């Protein structure tokens, strides 16, 4: 990911928190020399000092057969158009503010026939993350029905080997311009724009506290 110095974010705790809050990710791999992507929910877990991404794909998805090489999981949040009218200089151009985290890693494949306990653990972790109250319903289903569903998927656990965070929040502009942009976004009728405004305001307050 292209990350100019002003927009780099390498705080691991901050990146993990962002991934958990925006866990519907884009999973990218290369199949026969061509990029291939799936859009799936992931569980972000810490095991000692290692970040794990847990999820599954349908067996019929070609990407489920390409889990033997490095994968890229892309996590994105709110984004917003930034008008040049908010800048002090007339000779300015539009841009876009956003936050994105890229996680790279090698997956471990989980199949029901090979690892029934691990597959069950994977499903339970997904349920605990997204709807814990559903667990009793899931376990109340017939064994045949549950096994049929689990046989139709390929689970995986990605050990993250590299994280890249990009917080593009106008940090390359003056303090006055950053406040102008943040204030304008906070007043927008677009929820995504307001969310970016909140991120900008928090970033500004953190930087101002550091300066003090």
Query: Domain limits of the chain?
Result: 5-172
Residue 69: pLDDT band (50, 70, 90) is very high
pTM given for the model: 0.93
**pLDDT attached to residue 175:** 93
Provide the mean pLDDT of the chain.
95
Residues linked to residue 103 through DSSP beta bridges, in sequence order = 73, 163
75 contacts: CB under 8 Å, gap ≥ 6? 18, 19, 22, 23, 25, 100, 101, 102, 103
At 43, list the tokens.
Answer: 């569980």
Average of pLDDT values for 172-184?
Answer: 95
Q: Is the pLDDT of residue 36 over 90?
A: yes
Q: What is the pLDDT of residues 116-174, one digit of tens each?
A: 999 999 999 999 999 999 999 999 999 999 999 999 999 999 999 999 999 999 999 99
Query: At residue 75, what are phi and psi to the nearest 5 degrees?
Result: -115, 125
How many whole angstroms separate alpha carbon 101 and alpha carbon 55? 17
Q: Is the pLDDT of residue 212 over 60?
A: no
How many whole angstroms separate alpha carbon 95 and alpha carbon 102? 21
Judged by DSSP in three states, 24 sits in: strand
Q: Is the pLDDT of residue 209 over 90?
A: no
**pLDDT attached to residue 48:** 86
At 20, list the tokens.
Answer: 């958990």
How many whole angstroms separate alpha carbon 97 and alpha carbon 185? 11
The domain made up of 5-172 is a member of CATH 2.30.110.10: yes
The one-character DSSP state at 77 is E
Q: Is the pLDDT of residue 210 over 90?
A: no
The distance of Cα 84 from the centroid of its chain, to the nearest Å, equals 29
Q: Is the pLDDT of residue 211 over 70?
A: no
Q: What is the pLDDT of residues 96-122, one digit of tens each?
A: 999 999 999 999 999 999 999 999 999
**pLDDT attached to residue 206:** 80
How many whole angstroms separate alpha carbon 144 and alpha carbon 125? 21
Q: What is the pLDDT of residues 4-31, one digit of tens each?
A: 999 999 999 999 999 999 999 999 999 9
């Amino acid at each position: 990911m292209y990350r100019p110095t002003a927009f780099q974010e390498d705080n691991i705790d901050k990146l993990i928190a962002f991934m958990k809050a925006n866990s519907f990710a884009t999973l990218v791999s290369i199949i026969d020399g061509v990029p291939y992507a799936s859009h799936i929910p992931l569980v972000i877990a810490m095991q000692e000092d290692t970040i794990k991404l847990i999820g599954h794909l349908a067996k019929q998805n070609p990407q489920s057969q390409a889990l033997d090489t490095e994968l890229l999981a892309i996590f994105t949040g709110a984004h917003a158009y930034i008008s040049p009218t908010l800048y002090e200089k007339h000779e300015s151009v539009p841009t876009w503010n956003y936050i994105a985290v890229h996680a790279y890693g090698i997956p471990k494949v989980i199949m029901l026939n090979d690892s029934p306990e691990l597959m069950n653990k994977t499903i339970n972790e997904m349920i605990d993350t997204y709807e814990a109250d559903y667990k009793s319903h899931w376990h109340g289903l017939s064994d045949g029905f549950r096994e049929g569903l689990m046989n139709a998927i390929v689970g995986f656990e990605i050990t993250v080997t590299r994280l890249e965070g990009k917080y593009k929040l106008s940090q390359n502009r003056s303090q006055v311009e950053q406040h102008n942009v943040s204030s304008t976004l906070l007043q927008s009728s677009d929820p995504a724009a307001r969310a970016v405004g909140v991120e900008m305001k928090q970033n500004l307050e953190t930087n101002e506290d550091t300066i003090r």
